[in-house]
Amino acid sequence: MTEITYLEGIRQALFDEMERDPSVFCIGEDIGAFGGAFKVTEGLAAKFGDERVIDSPISEIGIVGAAAGAAHMGMRPVVEMQFIDFIANAYDILTNYVATARYRAFLPCPMVVRGPSGGYVRGGPFHSQNPEAGFIHTPGLKVVYPSTVADAYGLMKSAIRDEDCVLFFEHKYLYRRIKGELPAGDGAVPIGKARIAREGKDLSIITYAATVWKALEAAEQLEREDGLSVEVLDLRSLAPLDDEAIQATVRKTNRVLVVHEDTRTGGIAGEITARISESSFAWLDAPIMRVTAHDIPLPYAPQLEDFVLPQASDVVRAARWVAAY
């Protein structure tokens, strides 16, 4: 099999699901013939036609609401946010309408909202966001954020097939930087299951998305320079969280670092810390510590962005501290 990029993995999943199921369609700004700002949907309109790959007005409320309505009627819409940052515009309709549809009204609302997320690409404060925390806070939504090609592909398949709304965060830093093969067979990756990205026994790093790669880089350095055996758990699914996998790694290594690119206060690391504290307090040999971005709107200049976002070197420094505790 040939290697493809993370972005191609997503595109391939869209392609496969649209081919498999005629009720799947895409809607978003500039996603048709143009293929989207990042070309994720390139080729889809040519293959499936304008009616299934719909260029929309600049209306995030409109397209999310329309997706919900179509989903009620049996369609399976995939909504693109041109940048995930603009999901903020649809916060009301996503958290109030979509998330509650099944519970309050027994309305099925199977839909995916996807878009390029995250920083490390000099996108500035409005093209680099990680808004996942605001959505894992909302019962009724599922949230995934893959870090590998196989997961990008496999989670998109599961997201489209899921009976509820799944927010699918794509890390734009990874779009073309990482390559991998797709597994043989269907390749769907279940939502709600974490992945051990690297086995280890001295310390667990729990993370997701781009910082999985920062953590792996740090883990190698720690092994090389400190002889530390670091386990890296890639959450993949943020809602629901894989409590079992989190518990397993914590009880194995007894030391935890939670790493994410999102800002610190109110980020998911807090939730993970609380769950570990509740379930595995007795297993902890050190405080659960967090490596995150600063609580600052992400600035644009490379010197500033790199300072505000967590880097592999930060993970190394923090891991040494936790290991030495």
Partner 1 sequence: MARRQTADGGRQGTTTPDRRRRTTGAAPRPSDLLTREQKLELYYWMRLTRTLEERLVALYRQTKVVGGLFRSLGQEADAVGSCFALERRDIMSPLIRNMGAMLVKGATPLEILRQYMAKGDSPTRGRELNIHFGDLDRGFIGQISPLGDMVPVMAGVTLSFKMRGQDRVGLVYVGDGATSTGAFHEGINLAAVQKCPLVVIVESNQYAYSTPTWKQTAAKQMVDKAAGYGVPGLQADGNDVLAVYDVTKTAVDHARSGGGVTLVELVTYRRKGHAEHDNQSYVPDGEIEWWAANNDPLDRYHRVLQEQLGFALSEIEPVDARVRDEVDAATEIAEQSPPPEPHDGLIGVYADPPAETPLWFREGTRAAVERNERAEGWGTWDVKSGEKGA
Site for a copy of itself contains 88 (CB under 8 A): yes
Nearest Cα residue to 130 out of 108, 109, 145? 145
Q: How far is CA 47 from CA 15, 17, 53, 55, 234, in A?
A: 9, 13, 9, 15, 34
Site for partner 1 in 102-121 (CB under 8 A): 102-108, 116, 121
Catalytic residue among 72, 127, 171, 294: 127
| 20-33: b (≥16 Cβ within 10 Å) or e | eeebbbbbbbebbe
Number of shown-chain residues binding partner 1 (CB under 8 A): 99
Stated as kind and residue range, the H or E segment containing 53 is strand 53-55
- Based on the number of CB atoms within 10 Å of its own CB, is 245 exposed (0-12), middle (13-18) or buried (19 or more)? buried
Cβ proximity of 322 and 290 under 8 Å: no
Is 127 annotated in the active site? yes
- Residue 49 partner contact from a copy of itself, ligand TPP, partner 1, none using kind-dependent CB cut-offs of 5 to 8 Å: none
Instruction: Using the minimum distance from each CB to a copy of itself, give the nearer residue, 149 or 209.
Output: 209
Cβ at position 180, least distance to a copy of itself in Å: 30
Site for a copy of itself contains 45 (CB under 8 A): no
Dihedral, CA atoms, 160, 163, 166, 170, nearest 10 degrees?
A: -20
Which position has the token pair 């999310």? 64
Taking contact as CB under 8 A, which single stretch among the options 38-46, 51-59, 99-107, 214-222 is the one that binds a copy of itself? Answer: 99-107
Site for partner 1 contains 188 (CB under 8 A): no
- Residue 20 partner contact from partner 1, ligand TPP, a copy of itself, none using kind-dependent CB cut-offs of 5 to 8 Å: none
- State residue 195 phi and psi, 5-degree precision: -135, 135
Instruction: Using the minimum distance from each CB to a copy of itself, give the nearer residue, 138 or 158.
Output: 138
User: Which residues of the chain form contacts with a copy of itself (CB under 8 A)?
Assistant: 85-86, 88-89, 91-92, 95-96, 99-100, 103-104, 125-126, 133-134, 136-140, 239, 241, 258, 263, 265-274, 277-278, 281-282, 284, 286-290, 294-297, 299
For the annotated catalytic residues, the residue numbers are: 127
